[in-house]
Structure 1
Amino acid sequence: MAITALLIALLPASIVWTSSDANKYRKLVWVSVFLTFDLIVFGAFTRLTDSGLGCPDWPGCYGAANPFLAHEQIVAAESLMPTGPVTVFKAWIEMIHRYLAMTIGILIVAMMAQSWYQWIRTRRVEYAPWLPTFLFFFVCLQGAFGAWTVTLKLQPVIVTTHLLLGLGLLAILAWYGGRQNQLIAPVRSVVSASPPAMRNIRILALVSGLLLLVQLALGGWTSTNYATLACTDFPLCGGKLIPDMDFEHGFTLWRELGKTAAGHYLPFSALTAIHWTHRNVGLIVALAAGYTAWRAWDHQALHKTARNIVMTLCVQIATGIATIFLSFPLTIAVLHNAGAALLVLLLTVLNYKAKYQHDLAKKAASSASHPPASTVRH
């Protein structure tokens, strides 16, 4: 498994090495961001195709490094249950997901090693190793939840946490990438906004990010409990504005998939509660993120990110509604998950840019009120 992951990691490593970017370290960070986004989208595809147990052990597949070597066992399991969790197709999907995850882990190890090496040699601030080291331990935690996802047979709270950690990894890497950009090629002009105005945008961006985190948890909980089609109409749910719902069983965290904490089958009203909550919190997130983007729209340094947030919100709402009316088509469901990851990326970038511009605005205001002594006339 390790050799396979190392061979796969050679491809992104070669992209970094042959890049025209003068700073290979920054390129490594952004390649890791790109691959993490891909991993999240492919993880959604793995989950939505019911391939999470395509190889029912971990980290290999029936103890082998790849499905080729485990072909006999996979075929035997598929012949016993042709529509079950283990098939040749699902095994490959699951293992590709694991290979990609291990590749990102290798890139983060390389990032940490390079940061420590350069920091010891140069003490340059862009190579400060604290965040890359934190990323290493974070990705190890993510890997542990990936293992528990399999060994605990897709227990919803574990799968949802695994998803949230993946999105958290994407956010941290994006923040680090933004920091690398600004340290290497800093913006020298301040946007036309006072520190209080930029501070307000920064607060709005932070609140929008926190609301998005809640919505991501609800989205993961909806997906891992297979509650996507608990409501098959919109904007009503089962023909009602407020349908019959069982919040107690729906939001009991520690339980098996499809079961209550007592081991009984999960009632449909519990799935309805999960879906209905996700749908309505989504409306709150759309309003908050949309308002934040509107406030950031007129600022040159934030305009592009704000515009992309608005476009992504529109697509996200459309794919969410289409998933309901078209009875959960795989392509649209994957796009909906990709949209969620893109919102994480964009709101992280907006938060970083707002913080950076706020700091610049404060420095400019301080310089204006306290000019250098050499410029003061006596």
Structure 2
Amino acid sequence: MLYVLELGLIGLAIAVLPLTWVLIRRDANKYRKLAWVTVFLTLDLIMFGGFTRLTDSGLGCPDWPGCYGTSSPFAAHPEIHAAQTLLPSGPVTFMKAWIEMVHRYFAMAVGVLIIALMVLAWVKRKELKQSPWLATGLFFLVCLQGAFGAWTVTMKLQPVIVTTHLLLALTLLGSLVWLACRQMPPGMVAADPAATRWRWAALAGLGLLVFQIALGGWVSTNYAVLACTDFPTCQGQWIPPMDFGHGFKLWRELGRTAGGEIIPMDALVAIHWVHRTFAVMVVLYLGWLATRLRRHAMLRRPALFLFALLFVQFATGLSNIVFQWPLLNAVAHNGGAAVMLLLLVMLNYRIIAAGRLARQTPVPTPDRAAAPLAGAPTGSA
């Protein structure tokens, strides 16, 4: 299995670049810098994963972790050429193979960075003054994510596997953001007891967004984006004929019902309609939440970003329908959802941290012995 070692070395070589950049930066807290760099690259990886799916490159190399038992499409040239000759517009072409393998290379690099975060968390646990178990959990999470990446290929893009792969990627991103937020300097979060009243509302917003992303992933993995090509109606009706039973049957092959038949259009309409309808609820709720949270100084910036991003996300989602699913808009829509998740995790962390600081900050009490009595003379006669 020499090619597996070669793949590991490729991932390590890519990871060396951000690791070197962190080392040469004049930053007192290099662990914090590494955490945020890993967040940034994980976000990029999620967007590139969306690009891989949207270009139908998920089976560009139909085995895992390499490409036809090799470490690159260069070495797999004869096999890819044979597959492309047989089916020129099929799942295996040179372009799709390279897209798929670049995605895997960068996934390995992110894995290396997460291993570095875990090792440093244990080595510097006294200096960091925080438990290393979150970073350790990230290591196990990225291993689970890798397993679902393998199953995505070996189970031929089964929708529930691909959607779970997406949700695990976003869980990884959110956990990395939480880890990075824990490294913020003390001045970034202030004791604000009033902010804690929004704790459950912010958590509910995060839950609604995650559910909406799951619905969006289900739309994408079932290729149901164009099941409704008009707006605000769907197929000319507010409530078109829909087949929820087949549409939301989780364990089935791509494009098939659980019984093996071709999935009916009404099932795809149901998938699309539910995602579109629930999006309205999410936009209204998160818009309301952002307007409330911006009143707190330490929450203002991420809340304003969230509010602005809601409009961008709505516009990219609408353009997917109006302009027949253009690739750039679809990738931007996927990336926008990931950034919204990032912002909501940041808001939740700051609200919880503000409450913790408020509980730890002693409330000053007036010194009654030193205070003059009301009405008593303060000067000598």
Unaligned runs of 5+ in 1: none
Q: In structure 2, what is the Cα distance between the partners aligned to 1:377 and 1:162?
A: 65
Displacement after TM superposition at 1:362 (Å): 3.7
**Stretch moving more, 32-41 or 108-117:** 108-117
Q: In structure 1, what is the Cα distance between the partners aligned to 2:341 and 2:25?
A: 26
Aligned to 2:276: 279
Is 1:158–2:161 an aligned residue pair?
A: yes
Displacement after TM superposition at 1:203 (Å): 1.5
Displacement after TM superposition at 1:376 (Å): 5.6
Q: In structure 1, what is the Cα distance between the partners aligned to 2:369 and 2:181?
A: 41
Q: TM-score, normalised by structure 2?
A: 0.93
Alignment partner of 2:138 out of 123, 135, 138: 135
Alignment partner of 2:363 out of 364, 367, 371: 367
- Cα deviation 1:321-362 (Å, max 9, x = unaligned): 011000000000110001001101011111111111222334
Is 1:13–2:16 an aligned residue pair?
A: no
Is 1:47–2:53 an aligned residue pair?
A: yes
- Cα deviation 1:180-205 (Å, max 9, x = unaligned): 11xx44447445xxx3x422322111
Aligned to 1:212: 209
Aligned to 1:297: 294
8 Å contact from structure 2 (residues 195, 296) kept in 1: no
Q: In structure 2, what is the Cα distance between the partners aligned to 1:187 and 1:108?
A: 24
Report the secondary structure of 1:160's partner residue: helix
Q: What letter is aligned with 2:129?
A: V
Alignment partner of 1:252 out of 249, 254, 257: 249
**CA-atom RMSD in angstroms:** 1.4
Displacement after TM superposition at 1:367 (Å): 1.4
Q: In structure 2, what is the Cα distance between the partners aligned to 1:180 and 1:288?
A: 30
Q: In structure 1, what is the Cα distance between the partners aligned to 2:39 and 2:188?
A: 22
Question: 1:29-178, aligned counterparts within 5 Å?
Answer: 29-119=35-125, 122=126, 124-126=128-130, 128-178=131-181
8 Å contact from structure 2 (residues 189, 354) kept in 1: no
Q: What letter is aligned with 1:61?
A: C
Q: In structure 2, what is the Cα distance between the partners aligned to 1:252 and 1:225?
A: 11
Unaligned runs of 5+ in 2: 1-6, 371-381
Q: In structure 1, what is the Cα distance between the partners aligned to 2:327 and 2:116?
A: 35
Aligned to 1:22: 28
Displacement after TM superposition at 1:280 (Å): 0.8
Q: CA 1:188–1:136 in 2, change beyond 3 Å: closer, same or farther?
A: closer
Is 1:224–2:228 an aligned residue pair?
A: no
Q: In structure 2, what is the Cα distance between the partners aligned to 1:291 and 1:321?
A: 21
Q: In structure 1, what is the Cα distance between the partners aligned to 2:150 and 2:18?
A: 24
Q: In structure 2, what is the Cα distance between the partners aligned to 1:315 and 1:133?
A: 35
Q: TM-score, normalised by structure 1?
A: 0.93
- Cα deviation 1:220-272 (Å, max 9, x = unaligned): 00000000000001110011000000000000000000000010110000000
Q: In structure 2, what is the Cα distance between the partners aligned to 1:25 and 1:35?
A: 15
**Stretch moving more, 19-28 or 352-361:** 352-361
Is 1:306–2:303 an aligned residue pair?
A: yes
Aligned to 1:315: 312
Q: In structure 1, what is the Cα distance between the partners aligned to 2:311 and 2:128?
A: 42
- Cα deviation 1:31-70 (Å, max 9, x = unaligned): 1100000000000000000000000000000000011111
Q: In structure 2, what is the Cα distance between the partners aligned to 1:254 and 1:78?
A: 30
Q: What letter is aligned with 1:90?
A: K
Question: 1:264-275, aligned counterparts within 5 Å?
Answer: 264-275=261-272
Q: What letter is aligned with 1:147?
A: A
Q: CA 1:248–1:116 in 2, change beyond 3 Å: closer, same or farther?
A: same
Q: In structure 2, what is the Cα distance between the partners aligned to 1:101 and 1:295?
A: 37
Q: What letter is aligned with 1:85?
A: P
Alignment partner of 1:324 out of 311, 321, 326: 321
Report the secondary structure of 1:272's partner residue: helix
**Stretch moving more, 355-364 or 215-224:** 355-364
8 Å contact from structure 2 (residues 189, 350) kept in 1: no
Percent identity reads 55
Q: In structure 2, what is the Cα distance between the partners aligned to 1:133 and 1:361?
A: 29
Q: What letter is aligned with 2:357?
A: L
Q: What letter is aligned with 1:307?
A: L
Displacement after TM superposition at 1:114 (Å): 1.1
- Cα deviation 1:288-344 (Å, max 9, x = unaligned): 111110111111101101100011100000000011000000000110001001101
Q: CA 1:86–1:212 in 2, change beyond 3 Å: closer, same or farther?
A: same
Aligned to 2:375: none
Q: In structure 1, what is the Cα distance between the partners aligned to 2:178 and 2:191?
A: 20
Q: What letter is aligned with 2:17?
A: L
Q: CA 1:124–1:44 in 2, change beyond 3 Å: closer, same or farther?
A: closer
Between structure 1 and structure 2, the one with the greater Rg is 2
Number of aligned residues: 364
Aligned to 2:379: none
**Stretch moving more, 12-21 or 211-220:** 12-21
